[in-house]
Amino acid sequence: MRKLLLGVIWMTISLGAAGATGRPQEATVALPEPTIVGEVTLEEVLAERRSVREYTDEPLSLRTIAQLAWAAQGVSDAGSGFRTAPSAGATFPIEVDLIINGADGLQDGVYRYDPRDHALRLRLEGDMRLELHQAALLQAWVRDAPLVIVVSGVVARTEGRYGERAERYVHMEAGHVAQNVYLQAQALGLGTVAVGAFDEEAVASVLELDGGQRALYLLPVGRPR
Ligand SMILES: Cc1cc2nc3c(=O)[nH]c(=O)nc-3n(C[C@H](O)[C@H](O)[C@H](O)COP(=O)(O)O)c2cc1C
């Protein structure tokens, strides 16, 4: 009886503590289907793409966020599960987190993109931008963007097949993903900048990355000021 009582007290404390850290119950946001018909040509997008570091305060719509997530890692062939960005041996080591603030109908927080379900899963609640800004060596664009896409890689997924070459492959894949985001942002009239200068451990700590996941790129996105 005493054991049972202690167990109940422990459970109550644990649940209370979990709530206090801002870690939400798993919340899933189904995303609008991506469009594959744009308003500008690929050549125009290539010719006009520039890194953008100043954004307006305009919030992004769920449709826009969905389109950017799909461009980064969306499934483009349902049969094979292959994605918008190439992947060495289709080992898919890349994960995409989205730090969303002030978006239509979404609570602020850190979301993980699930390519298979084309959905977002809320991982952490709250505004993480100041902490991320500090981890990114005080680069203002990381603090000011309504959306920061974090591209990270899990080398172990690719290592089984490619051994020592896996790390370089994962870095290459992050480049493909970032370029997709650059081009999609440009096509939507938005801007981004690939941020590679940051304290990797600090970013991992802010985003609570685990399972061998290493942040490789931060991509703030917003409407150019
Ligand atoms: C690997 C890599 C890392 C980068 N890191 C940063 C960064 O930490 N901060 C930043 O403001 N821009 C960063 N950039 C963006 C470059 O500064 C930018 O691409 C370059 O100035 C050329 O400008 P453009 O992208 O407009 O053509 C990075 C770009 C690459 C490819």
CB 29, CB 106: distance < 8 Å: yes
Residue nearest to atom 12 of ligand 1 (CA): 195
pLDDT at 122 over 70: yes
pLDDT at 95 over 70: yes
Residue nearest to atom 10 of ligand 1 (CA): 195
Which tops the pLDDT comparison, 4 or 61? 61
Residue nearest to atom 6 of ligand 1 (CA): 195
Distances (CA, A) of 20 to 13, 46, 71, 121: 10, 46, 35, 19
Quick count: other Cβ atoms within 10 Å of Cβ 6? 10
pLDDT tens digit string along 178-196? 999 999 999 999 999 999 9
CB 175, CB 201: distance < 8 Å: no
Specify the amino acid at residue 56.
T
Q: How confident is the model at residue 24 (pLDDT cuts 50, 70, 90)?
A: low
Which residues contact residue 31 at a Cβ distance below 8 angstroms, ignoring those fewer than 6 apart? 62, 65, 66, 69, 70, 118, 119, 120
Mean local confidence (pLDDT), 95-118: 96
Q: How confident is the model at residue 172 (pLDDT cuts 50, 70, 90)?
A: very high
Residue nearest to atom 2 of ligand 1 (CA): 196
Mutate which of 51, 177, 179 for ligand 1 pocket (most atoms within 8 A of beta carbon): 51
pTM, full prediction: 0.90
Q: How confident is the model at residue 16 (pLDDT cuts 50, 70, 90)?
A: very low
In angstroms, the CA 152 to CA 18 distance is: 25
Q: Compute, in angstroms, the gap from residue 115 CA to the centroid of ligand 1.
A: 26
Q: Which residues of 153-163 are buried (b: 16+ CB within 10 A; e: fewer)?
A: bbbebbbeebe
Q: Compute, in angstroms, the gap from residue 50 CA to the centroid of ligand 1.
A: 9
Ligand 1 atom nearest to 178, measured from its CA: 31
Sketch out the chain's domains with CATH numbers.
26-222 (3.40.109.10)
